[in-house]
Amino acid sequence: MATTLPTLTKTIDDDFVNTWYEIKADVEDNIMESNVVWLALREFGVMFPQTGGEYYTDTVGYGKKTTQRFVKGTVLDQNEVPMDTMARWDWAYFLIDVNRTLVDDQKNRGPSMIKSYVARRLEIAKESVSQGIETMIHQYGTWDAIAQPKGLFDVCAPHAAITVGTSGGTGSDGDSYATGTNNGNITRVNTWWRNWAGTTATSESRENKVLAGTAPFDLNLRQDMAHIYNMVTNGQASPNFILASQNLYEAYEDEVSDKQQIVRTGFDKSAADLGFETLTFKGATFTYSNKLEAATNQPALGNEMLFLNMDYLKYVYDPGVWFDMTEWRVGTNAMERVAYITCAAVGLTTNQPRRHGYFRWAS
């Protein structure tokens, strides 16, 4: 008995969905291993699932009591000081479409042909979402009203954001400390809500978390890195992941080529096994990404380095809507069908920006 057209269509619908869910776990692993930043998010335990909810919130402690000194007869103060506030991040969504037509279904209706047909279309979708999610992590989450998850520069803003930025990203800096609410809906006019940031052209301020270095970077890179590392650490919590533009990484690599002691952390070993190059700086993994130089909707100023403490980062996502495929939909007055592989995520968050640092060297 010949297969009817509705039966053929339903069979291919099911083959696509069933095949996707068979390979979904492998797809997630492949995406996490496709670039060094996503690998770090996984290996450092940064991925944080939250099922549903209107938004993601985190408690931020910022207030502190003042120690009082007293002698006999001193009148003591009793000041009620606000200690905590709430940071709030909204959900963002992204997807990739998988397309079919009746013509293609008809041409690939044999059992062996259907298998190849399904595999090829899903492979294209997998590669596309992998490239897209890599780009997004290197961008601002809010830039000219683009709806995407928060990225590296939301938790670790550039120095330009301290002084000349415009909230929402009308310039190359993206978010302003003075007016922006890009990180957790809390304005960075509060010095306790700022990451360390600087360039070789700035004066230094511990209160405002502004750093300064010495140009040119190829002569002063290592001593500046040590200073930035120590300032961010502040005798408390040290950065454990340093991400640089490729030229800075190569300059450091050249400087320490005959001095670098081979020390491998667990993450370094995992990265090396997957073909990523890493060095070690003061015990922190040090690596590079060419995305720091070229991606849209990020500073792209060159000579950039981010000092991150992965213990104070969370990538918040919904495990129920994470690389999941929708049902197939038919276009009006058309023979095309489309399904979407969808993700819901807040993106990268931090409740202690002071644990991270951004630095840019002048050329």
> Residue 74 domain-assigned?
no
Q: Nearest to residue 83, comparing CAs of 100, 104, 66?
A: 66
pLDDT of residue 33: 83
> Residue 151 domain-assigned?
yes
N-term to C-term CA, the chain: 73
SS3 315: strand
Q: Nearest to residue 351, comparing CAs of 313, 322, 323?
A: 313
> Residue 249 domain-assigned?
yes
Contact by Cβ (8 Å): 44, 240: yes
Of the CA atoms within 13 Å of residue 107, those in its CB half-sphere come to 8
Please give the Cα distance from 172 to 168 (Å, whole number).
11
**DSSP type of residue 66:** P
Q: Which residue carries 């609410």 as its tokens?
A: 181
pLDDT for residue 261 is more than 50? yes
> Residue 111 domain-assigned?
yes
Contact by Cβ (8 Å): 230, 281: no
Tell me the whole-structure pTM to 2 decimals.
0.85
What is the band of 146 on the pLDDT scale with cuts at 50, 70, 90? low
> Residue 251 domain-assigned?
yes
Task: Look over the chain and give the mean of its residue pLDDT values, rounded to a whole number.
Answer: 80
pLDDT of residue 293: 72
**306-340, pLDDT tens digit by residue?**
999 999 999 999 999 999 988 888 876 667 888 89
Please report, as a single letter, which amino acid is at residue 341: I
What are the φ and ψ backbone dihedral angles of 297, each rounded to 5 degrees? 65, 40
Please give the Cα distance from 20 to 323 (Å, whole number).
9
* Angle, vertex CA 33, rays to CA 28 and CA 36, nearest 5: 135
Q: Nearest to residue 34, comparing CAs of 140, 138, 119, 127?
A: 127
Please give the Cα distance from 142 to 148 (Å, whole number).
7
Q: Which residue carries 């709806």 as its tokens?
A: 147
Please give the Cα distance from 356 to 130 (Å, whole number).
26
* Structural domain boundaries, residue 362: 1-64+93-363
**89-137, pLDDT tens digit by residue?**
989 999 888 888 777 777 777 776 877 888 888 888 888 888 888 888 8
> Residue 127 burial (CB < 10 Å; 0-12/13-18/19+)?
middle
> Residue 138 burial (CB < 10 Å; 0-12/13-18/19+)?
buried
Asked if the peptide bond before residue 216 counts as cis, ω within 30 degrees of 0, the response is: yes
Sequential DSSP letters for 32-96: HTSSHHHHHHHHTT-EEE----SEEEEEEE---PPP----TTPPPP------EEEEEEE-EEEEE
> Residue 87 domain-assigned?
no
pLDDT of residue 258: 64
pLDDT of residue 296: 60
Range 26-43 average pLDDT: 86
Considering the chain, what percentage of its residues have pLDDT values greater than 70? 80
> Residue 128 domain-assigned?
yes
H helices of the chain, in order, are: 5-32, 36-43, 102-107, 111-137, 152-155, 160-163, 217-233, 246-255, 266-273, 291-294
Please give the Cα distance from 199 to 357 (Å, whole number).
11
Asked if the peptide bond before residue 82 counts as cis, ω within 30 degrees of 0, the response is: no
> Residue 77 domain-assigned?
no
What is the band of 243 on the pLDDT scale with cuts at 50, 70, 90? very high
Pairing of the two strands 314-325 and 47-49: parallel
Most confident of 76-85, 198-207, 254-263, 288-297: 198-207
* Structural domains in the chain (count): 1
Region for residue 253 given its phi and psi (left: phi exceeds 0; alpha: psi -120 to 50; beta: otherwise): alpha
pLDDT of residue 173: 41
